[in-house]
């Protein structure tokens, strides 16, 4: 049976891998490879946010009856990260290595602590609250 925690945690690792590979390529000055990997990273990350904001969070908020609380904070952090990813795209386009690496370092910090909160608290909470419905949503999610 799929769980929200299982599916989404695996997708975090997946995004981490694209993230690290992109960073390594850019750090080595391999701009073409970096651009290709960055595209994959951005797609995977934005898709991950969308799965949460469009499917998981509404289901969970429907269950607890309000949209304040942890999901609100997670949405806010998604916006922080979207902003950083956009800035990274600008640095990449300008082939500004220092700018890209400074922003990717910043993104990594916010992303890792965000993931940690989701993996250790929010996802298990969702699995518990949503039960079978959660499992069926998890099985329908499509990571890219």
Partner 1 sequence: MLNTASLSLQQAPPISIPFRFFLTAPLFSILAAVQLLLAGEEILVSRWLPVTLGFTHLLTLGFLAMVMCGALLQMLPVMAGAPVPGVVVVGGAVHLLLSLGTLFLVAWFLGSGPLPPALILLVAGFSIFLIATVVAIWRRGVVARGSPAGGMQLALVSLLVTVLLGVVASLGYDGRLVIRELAVVTDIHLGWGLAGWVGLLLSSVAFQLVPMFNVTPEYPQWMKRHLPWLILLALVGWSLLQFGEGAFWEGGRKFSLVPVVVLYLLFAFITLDLQRRRKRKVPDITLLFWVTGLVSLICCAVLWVCSQLLPWLASWRGMGALWGIGLLLGFSLSIVNGMLYKIVPFLSWFHLQNRQMAQMRMSVAIPHMKAFISDRAARVQFVLHLLATVAMAAAVLYSHNLVRPAAFLFLASNLLLGANLWIAVWRFRKTSLLLAQKS
Nearest 10 degrees: Cα torsion 82, 50, 141, 118: 60
Specify the 3-state DSSP secondary structure of 3. coil
User: According to the binding rule CB under 8 A, does residue 139 interact with partner 1?
Assistant: no
Closest CA to 140 of 60, 59, 50, 55: 55
Nearest to 77 by CA among 45, 35, 39: 45
Check binding of 27 to partner 1 (CB under 8 A): yes
Q: Enumerate residues 78-117 that contact partner 1 by CB under 8 A.
A: 79-80, 83, 87, 98-99, 101-103, 105-106, 108-110, 112-113, 116-117
- List residues binding partner 1 (CB under 8 A): 16-17, 19-20, 23-24, 27, 64, 69-70, 73-74, 76, 79-80, 83, 87, 98-99, 101-103, 105-106, 108-110, 112-113, 116-117, 121-122, 125
């Amino acid at each position: 049976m799929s769980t929200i925690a299982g599916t989404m945690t695996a997708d975090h690792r997946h995004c981490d891998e694209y993230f690290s590979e992109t960073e390594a390529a850019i750090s080595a000055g391999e701009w073409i490879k970096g651009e290709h990997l960055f595209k994959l990273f951005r797609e995977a990350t934005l898709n991950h946010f969308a799965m949460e904001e469009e499917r998981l969070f509404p289901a969970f908020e429907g269950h607890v009856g309000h949209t304040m609380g942890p999901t609100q904070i997670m949405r806010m952090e998604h916006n922080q990260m979207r902003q950083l990813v956009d800035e990274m795209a600008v640095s990449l386009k300008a082939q500004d290595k220092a700018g890209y690496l400074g922003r990717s370092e910043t993104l990594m910090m916010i992303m890792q602590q965000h993931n940690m909160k989701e993996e250790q608290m929010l996802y298990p909470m969702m699995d518990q609250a949503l039960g079978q419905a959660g499992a069926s949503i998890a099985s329908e999610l499509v990571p890219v």
